[in-house]
Amino acid sequence: MNKRFLAAGASVAAAAMVLTACTPPGGGDDNENSSEGSVLNIGWNEAFRSMNTQTTNGNAVSNSIVTYMMNDNFGFYDDELKVQDGALGSIEQVSEDPLKVKYTFNDDAKWSDGTPVNAADLALTWAATSSHFNTVKSNANEDGTLKENSSDTVYFDSSVVSRQLIEDFPEMSDDGKSITFTYTKPFADWKLAFGIGPDGVGVPAHIVGKKALGVDDPAKAKDAIITALKDEDTEKLSKISNTWNTGFDFTSMPKDEDLLVHNGPYKMTDYKEGQYLTLTLDENYTGPKKPKVETVTIRYNGDPMAMVQAIENGEVDFTQPQATADVLSAAEELEGVTVDSADGATYEHVDFTFDNGGPFDPETYGGDEEKANQVRTAFMKTVPRQDIVDKIIKPLNPDAVVRDSYNQVPGSPMYDEIVKGSGIDGFEDVDIDGAKKLLEEAGADAPTVRIMYDNTNSRRQQEVQLIKESAEKAGFKIKDVGDVNWGSRLGDGTYDASLFGWQSESTGITDSDSNYRTGSQNNFGGYSDEKTDKILDKILVAPEDKQAELSTKLEKQLVDDAFGIPIFQHPSLVIHRDTLKNASTTTVSPTIFWNYWEWEVN
C-alpha cells in the first residue's frame, strides 16, 4: 500500500487528561484471570477520530489501532515483519501477464449487522482510493480543510498510486464471494495492495449506500454503489464520496450505530472525547479470531510521564509512550513492570515546503529553481543531525546512529548501497561556512524559516532549539510556529519546514510513493519533480534485482532536489505490567496491537 501513517510517536492527544482523575468503565482493579470479565487498559497519546483510515484525516495510527481490533483482514504483519494469513479470506495471483489478483472471502466473513463482507466492499475501496472517479484534482479550502462535493463534482479524499494501475472495473463473482483486479502493468507489491493490516477492506459499502443514497436494504445498497460506479453517475458518486470522505469521522461515541458496523471480534461500546475509548468482545462475531481479553480500554494522554504514572497507579497496563531518558528511567524503577527498548519503526525527518511563497519556493526568486535549491541545501547543511542523536537519542539507545536514508531503516539489506550512492554523505557534518556561501550565491539575505512541529513534545522542543542555534549561525532567521494541532496543518502552507515522524504500515518497496510523487496524499510540501515521478513509476514495476538500484536513484534525486533530510530512527519503549502476557510490538502499524488476540491478563 502506497501510504504511510503519521507516526504514533509523532502524534498528539486531541484532549489531554490527567489519568488519575478519570476511570472509565472497565478500569480500576476489576481485572480477572479468566477471559470472561477480563479487562486491559492501554495508554495512547492521540485520540481516535475516524473509522475510515484511508482518507487524509483518517490516515493516522491513532485510528488504525482501533479499526485493526474491530475489523478482520486478508493478512497482517507479525513481530518479524512476515505477512501472516488474515481471517477474511485468501489472495492469489491468477494471471501473470496481465497481472490479475483474486480476493476470495470466507463464508463467515460478515459485518456486525449480519451483512456479508464481499466484493462490493473491496470494489468501493478500490474506486475511492484509485482517483479514477474524481472529476476534480482537489477539493480543499484555502486552509486545507475538505470541501463537500457539489452535485456535479466527485472527489474521494485519497490517492493510492498502486490502485491507479487498476483501470478496468474489477470482475466480481455472481455470489459476491470473490473479486479479481486486473493491473495495467506489473506491480512489485501486488500481495500487499489490499486488505493487509489495519485498513482491512475499508468501510462497509452497504452503510455508505444507506447514508449517501438512502437505500436501507443492505444488498440493494451495495448494488446501488456498484451501479453508480459502473455508470460513473456523477450525481450519485458525489453523494457517495461525501459520505466516504467524512461520514465515518467522530470524536466521541456516535448516536448513529451504523458508524460502528465492523467485521472483527471487537465492537466499540464507549468513547469519551479525548479521554478514553472502550472496545468489548462482540458476542455475534463468528470469525476465526478468538481474543482472550473481553474488554480493552484505550486511555488518551499526550504526556509520556503521565503514562508512566498511570502504569504505576495500576490505571494503565500497557503503553508505548514517546521515549525519553526520563521516561525510561522512571519506568525502569517500577516494580512488577517490564520495559523493552529498541529501534522503532518511526523515523524523524525535516521536510520543506516548495509551493507557499516561502524561502524554499522557486517563486520567491522569480521562478529560479536553482536559487531555491541553494537555500534548501544551505538549510540542510545546518541541521545538526549527529548532535541531535548524541544529545537526545543515545541516552535511550547507546547504539543509535544518524539515519541517512529517506526510505530504508539502518541495517536493512539495501541501506548501505543507498547511502553510498545517494550523496547524503555530503551532509554528514554541519557546514556553516558552506551554508553561508550558498545563501550568498542565491542572494538570500537572512531568510526566515517557519518551523512547524508538535510544540507539546519535549523531544521536538529540544530538536528545534538545536536546529535554530545552528541555522542562525549561517544567517537564517528561525520562527517557531509549533502547534499542538500540528497534524491538521500539514500541507496548509503556513510553514516552511516541518519536523515529525513517519511510520510505515508496509514493508513494500512502493510504500513511500505517496510521500514524493507529484500531488500525492502524503506529499505535504508540494514537491514536484518529473525525474522523481519517472523513477517512482519504475519502482512500481521493479523486479527484485532492480529494487536497490532504483531506490538509490530515487534517494539521490531527493538529495539533489534538497527535498528535506532524515535525522534518526525513533527509539521505542514498550512498557507493560507483568500481569499482561504476550505483550509484543512490531515495527509497522499497528505496533503493540498487532497480536491483540494473544493477550492474556492474569
The CATH code that applies to domain 344-570 is: 3.10.105.10
3-state secondary structure of 567: strand
* CA-based radius of gyration for the chain: 24
pLDDT at 34: 41
Cell of 513: 510513493
CA 328 and chain centroid, separation: 25
pTM over 0.85: no
Whether a cis peptide bond, with omega within 30° of 0, leads into 590 is yes
Distance CA 479, CA 483 (A): 12
SS3 content of the chain, % helix, strand, coil (to 5): 35, 20, 45
**Cell 512488577, residue located:** 336
Q: Is the pLDDT of residue 5 over 50?
A: no
Of 535, 528, 563, whose CA–CA distance to 424 is shortest? Answer: 563
Kindly report which listed range (14-28, 224-238, 499-513, 573-587) carries the lowest average pLDDT score.
14-28
pLDDT confidence band for 14 (50 / 70 / 90): very low
pLDDT at 17: 23
The per-residue pLDDT for range 458-478, each reduced to its tens digit, is 889 999 999 999 999 999 999
Distance CA 565, CA 555 (A): 11
pLDDT at 25: 36
What number of residues does the chain have? Answer: 602
Kindly report which listed range (13-17, 58-62, 80-84, 321-325) carries the lowest average pLDDT score.
13-17
Q: Is the pLDDT of residue 213 over 90?
A: yes
User: Virtual CA dihedral for 278, 1, 503, 342, nearest 10 degrees?
Assistant: 90
Distance CA 140, CA 405 (A): 32
**Cell 527498548, residue located:** 341
Give percent of the chain above pLDDT 70: 93
pLDDT at 493: 95
Task: Summarize the confidence of residues 500-509 as an average pLDDT.
Answer: 77
Of 392, 481, 470, whose CA–CA distance to 435 is shortest? Answer: 470
Determine which helix (DSSP H) or strand (DSSP E) holds 321, and give its type and residue range. Answer: none
pLDDT at 160: 85
Give Cβ neighbours of residue 38 (< 8 Å, ≥ 6 apart). 31, 32, 292, 293, 294, 295, 600, 601
Tell me if 64 sits within 8 A of 5, measured CB to CB.
yes
Task: Summarize the confidence of residues 554-569 as an average pLDDT.
Answer: 97
Q: Which CATH architecture has domain 266-342+576-601?
A: 3-Layer(aba) Sandwich (3.40)
- 59 sits in the region (left: phi over 0; alpha: psi -120 to 50; else beta) called beta
pLDDT at 457: 84
pLDDT at 28: 37
Mean pLDDT of the chain: 90
Give percent of the chain above pLDDT 90: 75
The per-residue pLDDT for range 282-307, each reduced to its tens digit, is 999 999 999 999 999 999 998 999 99
pLDDT confidence band for 328 (50 / 70 / 90): very high
Determine which helix (DSSP H) or strand (DSSP E) holds 130, and give its type and residue range. Answer: helix 119-130
Task: Tell me how far apart the terminal alpha carbons of the chain are, to the nearest angstrom.
Answer: 37
pLDDT at 143: 67
Task: Summarize the confidence of residues 579-597 as an average pLDDT.
Answer: 92
Give Cβ neighbours of residue 480 (< 8 Å, ≥ 6 apart). 451, 455, 464, 468
The per-residue pLDDT for range 262-277, each reduced to its tens digit, is 999 999 999 999 999 9
Tell me if 509 sits within 8 A of 480, measured CB to CB.
no
Task: Summarize the confidence of residues 16-40 as an average pLDDT.
Answer: 46
pLDDT confidence band for 22 (50 / 70 / 90): very low
pLDDT at 325: 84
pLDDT at 184: 94
The per-residue pLDDT for range 329-353, each reduced to its tens digit, is 999 999 999 998 877 778 899 999 9
Distance CA 261, CA 415 (A): 42
Domain-by-domain residue ranges, the chain? 89-194+204-247, 266-342+576-601, 344-570
pLDDT confidence band for 32 (50 / 70 / 90): very low
**Cell 515483519, residue located:** 81
Cell of 68: 485493526
pLDDT at 144: 67
The per-residue pLDDT for range 354-396, each reduced to its tens digit, is 999 999 999 999 999 999 999 999 999 999 999 999 999 988 8
What superfamily does domain 89-194+204-247 belong to in CATH? Answer: Dipeptide-binding Protein; Domain 1 (3.90.76.10)
Of 344, 389, 353, whose CA–CA distance to 572 is shortest? Answer: 344
Cell of 185: 502493468
pLDDT at 1: 35
99-105 sheet: strands from edge to edge? 89-96, 99-105, 178-182, 171-172
The per-residue pLDDT for range 424-450, each reduced to its tens digit, is 999 999 999 999 999 999 999 999 999
pLDDT confidence band for 4 (50 / 70 / 90): very low
Top-confidence residue, 81 or 255: 255
Top-confidence residue, 325 or 526: 526
